[in-house]
Amino acid sequence: MHRTRSLGSIVFLDLRDRAGVLQATCDPRFTPLDVIAVAGRLGAETVVEVDGVVAVRPAEMVNRELVTGTIELQVTALRIVGPAVTPAIPVARGKDEKLAAEELRLKHRILDLRRPELQANLILRHRLLQVARQLMTSHGFLEIETPILTKTTPEGARDYLVPSRVHPGEFYALPQSPQIYKQLLMVAGFDRYFQIARCFRDEDLRADRQPEFAQIDIECAFVTQEDVQVVVERVLTALWKEAGHDIATPFERIRWADAMERFGIDKPDLRYGFELENWTAHVQPDAASFVLDGVAAGGKLRGIRVANGATWSRKEVDALAAVAKAQGLGGLLWAKRTDAGWEGQGAKAFGAATMERIGGVSGDLLLAGVGADAVALPAMGQVRLELTRRPEHLPTIAHAFCWIVDFPLFELDAASGEHMPAHHPFTAPHPDDTHKLETAPWECRAMHYDAVYNGNELGSGSIRITDPAVQETIFRLLKVPADEIQRRFAFLLDGLAAGAPPHGGFALGFDRIAMLLAGSTSLRDVIAFPKTTAARALFEGAPSPVSERDLAALSLAVLVKEKS
């Protein structure tokens, strides 16, 4: 029972199920009086069974806003089958009534799930899952489930561990992805695999991440990178079609190094311009010494041109400068071009000769940063992102997909100062760089590709290492001790030594795709029972302490008892 309304002796019930709302009318002309009396007192969210006759509504009662607005159910009998306590949060809301606070809604998730918006999201999610399954099946892929209680599968996060009761002191790990298993399935001869896989990653709190999530996980043997990309493009085309959008393939392929140069980020939002420009060669001797010194030290001058930005206030430009500085850039230079010429601290720092070479037309705002690529490119990339978010900058297209290819094989982890795999340690080095694996490993590119949509990373994939010796080299470069390689990865290395076909694959973040296609901005809107950003399930109350007895059965003791 969504809501009731009384009009004299008539009671209108809005009944709701997953298909929508239907008006049931209790009228003394066809409804027994005792039924009307019960109907008048029904509390919201009570579950009822109603008998009646579906009838066309009188013309003056037609409700154009409701799909069922031309009909009503003329009630003859009504039974309360599921009485409801007063709901903690409203399900039926007035037009302008705001949603309750999210924490409260997560706590009362079943009520929130009754909201038509969330019902529509989960119905869409179901349809997308079926489309993915059909598409993969029609291309000859087999859906094969891999274990949840397993061994570590590194994807750059911490493992969730599950203690074994029967083997005290031993632990299973929940899979960060089915990566190793899907590779071993290739070795086992199932040359096309997919799975709607559950993955678990214990990461520090991050907005828009869920500790457990679903991905459309794919692996195939005897393929090139291009083959995998074609399959993924087909899946994405089918998913977007299901949500009512036609998209064009093939997607643009952009090399990682070019994406960084042009957009300062490896997941560029191609719906917008504002490409970064390299103005280093324009720098003339009359530039300020910090510009000259920066360039002499190997830094580059990276700039962005904003047409009609010359009218921006100082405050608006300062806000962009704050974004750049937060990324580690010393400062953001700016210059405005008016009919009177160039003005701004950037114009002074560059000097007339440099400005002349950079050029520009009246109305332009130029933004720039000097520095090493590792700092200046991402910082200017963030500035670009801010520009795309301004309301006057409308996207030129709705759906901008691309592939980012030729990623570096390793990246430097700022926190530890160590090299880490840019993807995961099973990614094959680029064939043109394999010879550098021993001499200059950190310069190697990888057979790793990401699919990007409107600035969102939809997924990653790679061609895999199939030579056990190369795999061992990678572990060694990552400083995994020999005994640990044996302990953690012997089953993979043995598998690769058993005759491994060349293979590669991909994983699409399914929750994110469902969120984007539902037009939502939170993963929690497309997951039935999600966790908060603090990895808590508020509805069921997990994680939760366990009793001393349960711990003892697992041969475990908790050292820290205070609640965090």
Binding-site ranges for ligand ASP (CB under 6 A)? 155, 177, 179, 424, 460-462, 505-507
Distance in Å, CB of 462 to ligand ASP, minimum: 5
Distance in Å, CB of 182 to ligand ASP, minimum: 7
Q: Any residues with CB less than 8 A from the CB of 315 and at least 6 apart, and which?
A: none
The amino acid that residue 327 corresponds to is Q
Instruction: Give 353-410 as a DSSP string.
Output: HHHHHH---TT-EEEEEEE-HHHHHHHHHHHHHHHHHSTT---S-S--EEEEE--BSE
Q: Which of 308, 310, 279 lies closest to 295, judged by CA?
A: 279
Helix, strand, coil percent content, the chain, rounded in steps of 5? 35, 25, 40
- By beta-carbon proximity to ligand ASP, the closer residue of 299 and 408 is 408
Distance in Å, CB of 511 to ligand ASP, minimum: 13
Which class for 552: exposed (0-12), middle (13-18), buried (19 or more C-beta within 10 A)? exposed
Distance in Å, CB of 382 to ligand ASP, minimum: 24
Distance in Å, CB of 197 to ligand ASP, minimum: 8
- By beta-carbon proximity to ligand ASP, the closer residue of 197 and 366 is 197
- By beta-carbon proximity to ligand ASP, the closer residue of 403 and 506 is 506
For residues 65 and 14, give the distance between their C-alpha atoms in angstroms, rounded to a whole number: 13
Distance in Å, CB of 531 to ligand ASP, minimum: 19
- By beta-carbon proximity to ligand ASP, the closer residue of 194 and 342 is 194
- By beta-carbon proximity to ligand ASP, the closer residue of 461 and 530 is 461
Distance in Å, CB of 83 to ligand ASP, minimum: 46
- By beta-carbon proximity to ligand ASP, the closer residue of 422 and 538 is 422
Q: What angle do CA 123, 126, 127 make, to 5 degrees?
A: 90
Residue for token pair 């064009």:
248
In b/e form, how buried is each residue of 374-386, taking b as 16+ CB within 10 angstroms?
A: ebbbbbbbbbbbb
Name residue 302's beta-bridge partners.
Answer: 278, 369
CB 427 within 8 A of CB 409: yes
- By beta-carbon proximity to ligand ASP, the closer residue of 367 and 523 is 523
- By beta-carbon proximity to ligand ASP, the closer residue of 142 and 296 is 142
Name the token pair of 166.
């029967």
Q: Any residues with CB less than 8 A from the CB of 504 and at least 6 apart, and which?
A: 219, 220, 223, 224, 225, 227, 228, 428, 447, 461, 462, 463, 464
Q: Any residues with CB less than 8 A from the CB of 279 and at least 6 apart, and which?
A: 301, 302, 303, 354, 357, 358, 368
- By beta-carbon proximity to ligand ASP, the closer residue of 52 and 459 is 459
Distance in Å, CB of 223 to ligand ASP, minimum: 12
For residue 162, the SS3 value is strand
Distance in Å, CB of 422 to ligand ASP, minimum: 11
Phi first, then psi: give them for residue 539, nearest 5 degrees: -70, -50
Distance in Å, CB of 149 to ligand ASP, minimum: 18
- By beta-carbon proximity to ligand ASP, the closer residue of 309 and 408 is 408
- By beta-carbon proximity to ligand ASP, the closer residue of 460 and 466 is 460
Name residue 3's beta-bridge partners.
Answer: 14
For residues 189 and 222, give the distance between their C-alpha atoms in angstroms, rounded to a whole number: 11
Q: Any residues with CB less than 8 A from the CB of 94 and at least 6 apart, and which?
A: none
For residues 407 and 442, give the distance between their C-alpha atoms in angstroms, rounded to a whole number: 12
Distance in Å, CB of 142 to ligand ASP, minimum: 16
